[in-house]
Structure 1
Amino acid sequence: MFQDLDATLAALIASELSLPNVAVSFATPDDQFPPSGVSLPAVDLFLYDVQENLELRRAEWIVEQHDDGAASRRRPPVHVNCSYLVTAWPSDSSPNPSQDEHRLLGEVMKVLLRHSRLPDNMLQGELAGQEPPLRAKVLRESHLQSLGEFWQAMGGKPKPTLHYTVTISVDISTPEELGVVVSEKVTTLGPMAR
């Protein structure tokens, strides 16, 4: 499902980014970036944190009635926050790489800010038709303890970043058949015995 989220984000950025010929990558933004197959300029969305969204946790079962009168139940999906570190990588031939990097990051930020939820027509694979709709948050607080330590661990120089989080639903259960639903109760009373 992470690959479906990556494909959804790549489609969204490719369709709305105002700058031409920008690659979208999901590689680790280390000192070896860009990996082979990714040409610059590029925007990189590095999935760095995955956590359950406890605010959306539901304990009650979901009961579904079928046309034949039977019913099944299943556990509710688990809502998961997928947090990305978004960076921009200008072309190697750029005369002003810092300016180009900032322009690219700003244009990507505009695309992401337009959508507090991911558009239905962009959803790929398992994400299509998810309920509730996939919520997105841009410019939120990082889950990284220290951005400086992150860049040091990556072996690269610090870069301007955006923090972007999408909440997806993960279906973890198989429906459990309950049988036929009782929809009425009939009580028959007979004569009273003396």
Structure 2
Amino acid sequence: MIHEVDEVLKGLIGGGALAGSGIDVSFEVPTRDWAARRNAPVVNAYLYDVREDMGRRQRGRTGVRDDHDIVVRHRRPPRWFQLSYLVTAWTKTPQDEHRLLSAVLATLLPHELLAAEELPEPLGRLGLAVPVTVSGSQSEARSLADIWSALGGELKPSLDVAVTVPFPAFPDYDAGPPVTEGAVVRVRGADGGPPRSEERGHRPRQLAEARAAHEQAAVHRKEQSNKEQSKEQM
């Protein structure tokens, strides 16, 4: 999941205003040694924090339906994690770094919400949009000054980019066959004797529709199988 977010962020930063510039996007730790080794302009996106967004945690489960609107699997809600990146620009002069950082900011701001179709597999398979926050409010636990102190470097202009992504913490579970029959009522005597009336079945309209859809799906699968066998024989 983390490497997929790296791929998404690299594609966003490398596009837009920086498209065709040849400026690399690095995810290495921006230490003094790393800064001394670089010999070309670069944008660094250092992942410094990964934590669960507790406000998005959900309970229960949801049904995964097929083309006939029948529940075939059960899925637990994903857990959401916020990945925080320290994005900095590295050139020879502060003015060029400011221009490069401004280009990154202009590129990221229009992408506040990434649709599932824009995400790589298997992140996009969940069908959920991913929010991107640029230079939002920070808590004391994520002080940028403390981060630079831990890295052994001097404080530098930066963008705090947070990407909140869903993570499927639990596998899907197969669902049982759909209910197609209603309840059966048996009325017996007070002394436990034989029933005073015949069994009476109850089939609500929803159950009848579910049974019809299930039978229709079975017929459709059989027809598809026959077509595939005919193609193989030809």
Give TM-score scaled by structure 2 length. 0.70
Whole-angstrom distance in 1 between the partners of 2:39 and 2:144:
25
Closer, same or farther: CA 45–98 of 1 in aligned 2, 3 Å: same
Structure 2: distance between partners of 1:65 and 1:149: 48
> What RMSD, in angstroms, separates the aligned Cα atoms of the two structures?
2.7
Aligned residues: 187
**TM-score, length-scaled by structure 1:** 0.82
Shift of 1:15: 2.0
Which of the two has higher C-alpha Rg? 2
Unmatched tracts of structure 1, length 5 or more: none
Partner SS for 1:157: coil
User: By how many angstroms is 1:55 displaced?
Assistant: 1.9
Find the residue that maps to 2:58 and give its secondary structure: coil
Contact 1:85–1:163 (Cα < 8 Å) also in 2: yes
- Identify which of structures 1 and 2 has the higher relative contact order when contacts are C-alpha pairs closer than 8 Å and 6+ apart: 1
Query: Is 1:133 aligned to 2:134, yes or no?
Result: no
Tell me if 1:113 matches 2:109. yes
* Counterpart secondary structure, 2:88: strand
| Contact 1:69–1:180, Cα closer than 8 Å, also in 2 | no
Aligned twin of 1:25: 26
Q: Which of 99, 104, 109 is equivalent to 2:100? A: 104
- Separation in 2, partners of 1:158, 1:89: 13
Q: Percent same amino acid among aligned pairs? A: 32
Which residue in 2 is equivalent to 1:142?
138
- Residues of 2 paired with 1:149 and 1:101: CA distance? 22
Q: Which amino acid aligns with 1:141?
A: S
Distance 1:23 1:172, change over 3 A: same
Q: For residues 13-162 of structure 1, what are the structure 2 equivalents within 5 Å?
A: 13-18=13-18, 20-34=21-35, 40-66=40-66, 71-90=72-91, 94=92, 97-118=93-114, 122-143=118-139, 144-162=141-159
Alpha carbons of 1:119 and 1:104: their partners in 2 closer, same or farther (altered >3 Å)? farther
State the 1:81 CA deviation. Answer: 0.8
Specify which structure has the higher proportion of helix.
2
For the residues of structure 1 that align with 2:170 and 2:36, how far apart are their CA atoms?
Answer: 37
User: Residues 25 and 44 of structure 1 are in contact (CA less than 8 Å); yes or no, is this contact kept in structure 2?
Assistant: yes
Match of 1:5 in 2: 5
Q: Is the 8 A contact 1:141 1:163 kept in 2?
A: no
Deviations 1:96-144 (A, max 9, x none): x100111111110111111111355642332234432111111112354
Change (3 A) 1:156 1:70: closer
Runs of 5+ in structure 2 lacking a partner?
188-194, 198-234
